[in-house]
Structure 1
Amino acid sequence: MKIRIIIIALWASLLAACYEDKGNYDLVDYNKITIATVAAETKTTVVLGESVKITPKITWKYPERDTTENAFDYTWIHTWGGDTIAKTRVLEYTPEECGNFTCYLYVTEKATGVITRYQTSVTVQSPYLKGWFILSENNGKTNLNFVRRDSRKDNDNKTIYYWTDFIDLYSQLHPNDPLASEVPVRSDAYIVGNEEDEVVIIYKGGRASVLNGLDFSKVLEIKDEFPGGVYPVGFETKQFIRGGYCDFVLGTDGKLYWRKNTNSTVMKHEQMFMNVAVYFPGGGADISEFFNINVYAANFILGYDQLHKRFVACYTSFNSGNSYLGGKIDIINPVDPTTFVDILNLDGYKLLYCGDFTDGKNYVNILKQESTGKYLMQTYKLSGGYNSLSVTNASQEEFTGSDKISDNTVFWKLRKASYLYFGEGNRLYFYDMSTKAVKLYASLPDGGNITHLMESPSSGGDYLLGVATDKGYFYLINAVDAEILGSPDPGAVGIQHQVSGLGNIKSVSWKWGGYYNLVSDRY
């Protein structure tokens, strides 16, 4: 019993000694510091290639003591347990990858060994996140080109926008991993996350390569997303459509395949496409294209069946993962076909254009009546839900600009403004749907024929239209400014930017960079 008491007493004395040591450590008279940052001298959100700068604002308990680097060591660590990136008080370094990171500053008082830690977040954005993505072929090689909007403040603190061009970008980023040798046909950019996107390049013969939107590195081939990594018999990719909970891929044979994603905004290539084509009642379908519409707002994809000369639609959503996803939608047209040509029976008419505006539910068509050569403009609304859409608010008239267009004219209806732009030869016109007036915007100085039109976001800056020609020129024009459009020569003051030497331009896309920008319709 006595031995047990002695042992307990010894343990008690040892514990007391440990506690006293801790208390003695707390009583060390070190120069306690607090750390913040000097906002005016700190830049923690940068584009890849730019330098991060973090200037600590340090307050000492005893500022009269030595507070120089003779008394303190500074160590900056990139991410928890990561590499040391600086041994100086002020951090200046250039990140090597995109993403959101945490930088840790450890300040050690040399005399006492006391360490104070501070942490701050760093965001490194891709230089190619948002902007114009232009696919072209130049000297027999596929070129990826990108035009980015940048800004600065002038002496009056007014924001000035300017544009930075990246020509043949892929070859610069990945010189040892060339793109496919096949002839490129088209490209599309689409979101795969809140701040992530991808680009698909489709080649003659059906090859379709997916690239990471941050740095254009290769991700996979579309065929790898079919069972066994094999396309259905006779299938060649013609078009890829991102639709939130559903993705669709159209073949040159006019057949459509789809898959259901587990998440609408974040797509990680976890699901396979079904290898059975979507069946459209009435004898199947031979779909020539799906129109470039705001699928996020519409909740469906809309295309043209050239076999039966009719519009077709499939349901999808960015908001609801319900059982209707991927299903064919019945389109109902109760409008008298003598006053409004039936979009379910366009026999005798050639469809030149279909585009959406306002909210993904309103549409405009340009048709040519083959028997008379007349060009007609239709406007209408598609109202409905998961399994049916009805044509409402329908109107039709001979297009005011008929004398200025042909079967080769390129059209684009601005989604958030009343203007329908169209390019015929090297001449760019706009039609005001409010006044029904047509006006020449510009005869483009390079003399090439206009081949592609594509709008920018409508908010967060000027509302622009991208214009490409067959001579490798790309223009950005102000598409809505009343003073510009009202001037005698809008093109003289409205062309904001010009790029040349792009070769044979195959496709022009607006690259959103992520879901947040898409839903906000912003830069």
Structure 2
Amino acid sequence: MKINAIILFLCSLFLYACYEDKGDYDYAPIDEVTINFDLTSYGVAIGEEIEIKPTLEFKNPEDSVNFSYEWLVSGKLYATTRDLKYTGEELGSNFTMFTVINNRTKVRTIKEILIQVSSPYNISGAPGWFILSDEEGKSVLHMVSSKYIDGAYQYVARRDIYNGGGEELGREPVKLIYHAPYYSYPELLVVQRGGQKSVELNINSMTRVIRNDEEFFNGQPPVDFVPQDAYYGMWADILLGEDGNLYSRPIAEYEKLHQDPFNNNPMLIDPKKESRIKALGIAPAFANEVVVYDELNNRLLCIGTDFRYGGDIQEMPTATYPEEYTPLNDMGNKELIYLGVGDPMNFNMIVKDPSDGKYYFQRFMLQYMAHNNTFMLYAWNAHKELGCASYFTSRTQIVIFRDGNYIFFTGGAANNELYRHDTRTNVTVLVKSFEDTSIQLLRLPNVMAGESALGVVFTNGDVVSLNMSSANINANVYEELFRHNFGKVVDVVAK
């Protein structure tokens, strides 16, 4: 009982003392601050500087002068300024702690971010585009990279970036294929017919990793082999040759690139009939859903990616199609105009009915079942007739945003007009008419979904990235993120 009384007495004294010590807090309540950053992870090229500006919200803005700041990068004090100017000196990830210190109360408010120092050709999280040009038959590789400054990306052209130690990249350029397995650094396959022919490049160093013809069994590629497209997976890689054949390699250890050779005999497509593969439909990032178009039989097939089979060609699984839909396993007299990846496991298609000249848009979902190396196919909605088809010409270029909502295409007698078609409303809008030059290529950024940019290549060599955010689309605003000229452009691909 005495002990309880003593405790009660001491508590009373403590509360009285707190109450009496109220002078400062009458006119200066405990200051509070909230810290916000534009990003949770910032990328900077090695040797270059980035400035990071946190947004601070003070409970009592007039007392903001009573605060000080600390930046700890990888556990070491780097700066004591409100904004951080950081120079990337070594490749790697740096956990960064920003602390706002109340000089009166000594209360510390802390927020963490990540600063990733990367190669200038592979800045973490920053959009970029690779450009392959033909300079009098010589292959030349360029890049447009970006840097995050004051809440937006600023773009810079990096020219002739191949690091061959004096050796030229190659000749007779054809195509770029970017692939980014989640377990290793991205690589870039440069397809070319001359010089050292097709080569894989390390994205960080822009050096050659291996020549494509060296990747076949015993270093013996098929005669006159030129890759047309490629799929890079966890357990199997597939090359599509210009000869219409597919060549596969099973991967024994998925974290080791180029360890296993491609088979120099083509994959068996269909034992019952002759086939010729014209196109691959694959996700831009790592995925297991792969579709191929067999032009001789006007059908789609899928590829099982289980390592035990090294990639095997399968017929499209049985599905119940809507009444108004072109079956994938037999498209009859329909012509395949476009095949592209949609949201993860989804695909977008445009087919043409030559009997009446009408074009139709449809989607389907293909899900790979790894446990038994099979697929499940879903086609829920009927096709939609495209009201924009009257604008199509023989030179029309087409890309479809992966959610299937917007189709961008070119038109006009000189192929100098860019259009946008809304598949939901069937409304077509002229985005921009260009008087001086024609459009050569349209390209999408290398993301799984939610595009906000569109790459446009003009015949005069200009490469442009357009801001196609929802706000710009709704306002029908034409905004160029960058424009650079790279001469005779052969191909462009986003990183």
User: What TM-score, normalized to structure 1?
Assistant: 0.67
Deviations 1:484-509 (A, max 9, x none): 2233x522xx2222112x12322221
- Go from structure 1 to structure 2 and tell me whether the alpha carbon gap of 1:94 and 1:410 turns closer, same or farther (over 3 Å shift): closer
The corresponding residue for 1:359 is 344
Matching of residues 219-230 of structure 1 within 5 Å: 219-230=209-220
CA–CA separation in structure 1 for the residues paired with 2:378 and 2:274: 22
Match for residue 486 of structure 1 among 471, 474, 491:
474
Match for residue 334 of structure 2 among 337, 349, 353:
349
Classify the secondary structure of the residue corresponding to 2:387. coil
Classify the secondary structure of the residue corresponding to 1:224. helix
Contact 1:196 1:213 in 2 (8 A): yes
Contact 1:410 1:453 in 2 (8 A): no
- Kindly indicate whether residue 146 of structure 2 is the aligned counterpart of residue 146 of structure 1: no
Deviations 1:338-369 (A, max 9, x none): 73222222342321111122222x22211122
Identity over aligned pairs, percent: 24
CA–CA separation in structure 2 for the residues paired with 1:93 and 1:344: 55
Classify the secondary structure of the residue corresponding to 2:186. strand
The corresponding residue for 2:245 is 255
Contact 2:248 2:262 in 1 (8 A): yes
The corresponding residue for 1:306 is 295
- Kindly indicate whether residue 212 of structure 2 is the aligned counterpart of residue 214 of structure 1: no
- Go from structure 1 to structure 2 and tell me whether the alpha carbon gap of 1:449 and 1:94 turns closer, same or farther (over 3 Å shift): closer
Matching of residues 280-429 of structure 1 within 5 Å: 280-281=269-270, 282-294=272-284, 296-297=286-287, 299-316=288-305, 323=308, 326-335=311-320, 339-360=324-345, 362-383=346-367, 385=369, 386-416=373-403, 418-424=405-411, 425-429=415-419
Match for residue 441 of structure 1 among 427, 431, 440:
431
Amino acid in the other structure paired with 2:326: V
Contact 1:248 1:258 in 2 (8 A): yes
- Kindly indicate whether residue 469 of structure 2 is the aligned counterpart of residue 497 of structure 1: no
Q: How far has the Cα of 1:337 moved from its partner?
A: 8.8
Q: How far has the Cα of 1:258 moved from its partner?
A: 0.9
- Go from structure 1 to structure 2 and tell me whether the alpha carbon gap of 1:263 and 1:438 turns closer, same or farther (over 3 Å shift): farther
- Kindly indicate whether residue 492 of structure 2 is the aligned counterpart of residue 508 of structure 1: yes
Matching of residues 463-474 of structure 1 within 5 Å: 463-474=452-463
CA–CA separation in structure 2 for the residues paired with 1:458 and 1:381: 14
CA–CA separation in structure 1 for the residues paired with 2:191 and 2:251: 22
The corresponding residue for 1:133 is 130
- Go from structure 1 to structure 2 and tell me whether the alpha carbon gap of 1:462 and 1:497 turns closer, same or farther (over 3 Å shift): farther
Contact 1:192 1:267 in 2 (8 A): no
- Go from structure 1 to structure 2 and tell me whether the alpha carbon gap of 1:387 and 1:284 turns closer, same or farther (over 3 Å shift): farther
CA–CA separation in structure 1 for the residues paired with 2:313 and 2:201: 30
CA–CA separation in structure 2 for the residues paired with 1:381 and 1:226: 33
Contact 1:291 1:302 in 2 (8 A): yes
Classify the secondary structure of the residue corresponding to 2:380. strand
Amino acid in the other structure paired with 1:217: T
The corresponding residue for 2:160 is 168
Q: How far has the Cα of 1:214 moved from its partner?
A: 0.8
Amino acid in the other structure paired with 1:331: M
The corresponding residue for 2:98 is none
Q: How far has the Cα of 1:99 moved from its partner?
A: 5.6
CA–CA separation in structure 2 for the residues paired with 1:161 and 1:258: 39
Contact 1:423 1:450 in 2 (8 A): no
Q: How far has the Cα of 1:178 moved from its partner?
A: 0.8
Q: How far has the Cα of 1:126 moved from its partner?
A: 0.2
Amino acid in the other structure paired with 1:169: I
Q: How far has the Cα of 1:288 moved from its partner?
A: 1.1
The corresponding residue for 2:45 is 47
The corresponding residue for 2:81 is none
Matching of residues 178-197 of structure 1 within 5 Å: 178-181=168-171, 183-192=172-181, 194=183, 196-197=185-186
Amino acid in the other structure paired with 2:118: Q
Amino acid in the other structure paired with 2:464: Y
Q: How far has the Cα of 1:146 moved from its partner?
A: 0.8
Amino acid in the other structure paired with 2:336: L
Deviations 1:351-389 (A, max 9, x none): 1111122222x2221112223222222223335633234
Amino acid in the other structure paired with 2:190: I
Deviations 1:281-319 (A, max 9, x none): 23242111212534634x122111111111121122xxx
CA–CA separation in structure 1 for the residues paired with 2:139 and 2:396: 26
CA–CA separation in structure 2 for the residues paired with 1:372 and 1:51: 59
Contact 2:44 2:88 in 1 (8 A): no
Classify the secondary structure of the residue corresponding to 2:454. strand
Using CA pairs below 8 Å that are at least 6 residues apart, which structure has the higher relative contact order? 1
- Go from structure 1 to structure 2 and tell me whether the alpha carbon gap of 1:45 and 1:199 turns closer, same or farther (over 3 Å shift): closer
Contact 2:343 2:448 in 1 (8 A): no
Contact 1:202 1:239 in 2 (8 A): no
- Go from structure 1 to structure 2 and tell me whether the alpha carbon gap of 1:234 and 1:505 turns closer, same or farther (over 3 Å shift): closer
Amino acid in the other structure paired with 2:141: L
- Go from structure 1 to structure 2 and tell me whether the alpha carbon gap of 1:280 and 1:505 turns closer, same or farther (over 3 Å shift): same
- Go from structure 1 to structure 2 and tell me whether the alpha carbon gap of 1:397 and 1:433 turns closer, same or farther (over 3 Å shift): closer
Equivalent pairs counted in the alignment come to 390
User: What TM-score, normalized to structure 2?
Assistant: 0.71
Contact 1:413 1:421 in 2 (8 A): yes
Computed over aligned residues only, the root mean square deviation of the Cα atoms, in angstroms, reads 3.3
Contact 1:355 1:365 in 2 (8 A): yes
Contact 1:136 1:144 in 2 (8 A): yes
* Bigger Rg, which one: 1
Q: How far has the Cα of 1:140 moved from its partner?
A: 2.8
Contact 2:348 2:404 in 1 (8 A): no
Match for residue 421 of structure 2 among 422, 428, 431:
431
- Go from structure 1 to structure 2 and tell me whether the alpha carbon gap of 1:123 and 1:471 turns closer, same or farther (over 3 Å shift): same
Please list every run of 5 or more consecutive structure 1 residues that lacks an aligned counterpart in the other structure.
1-43, 53-91, 102-120, 154-158, 512-523
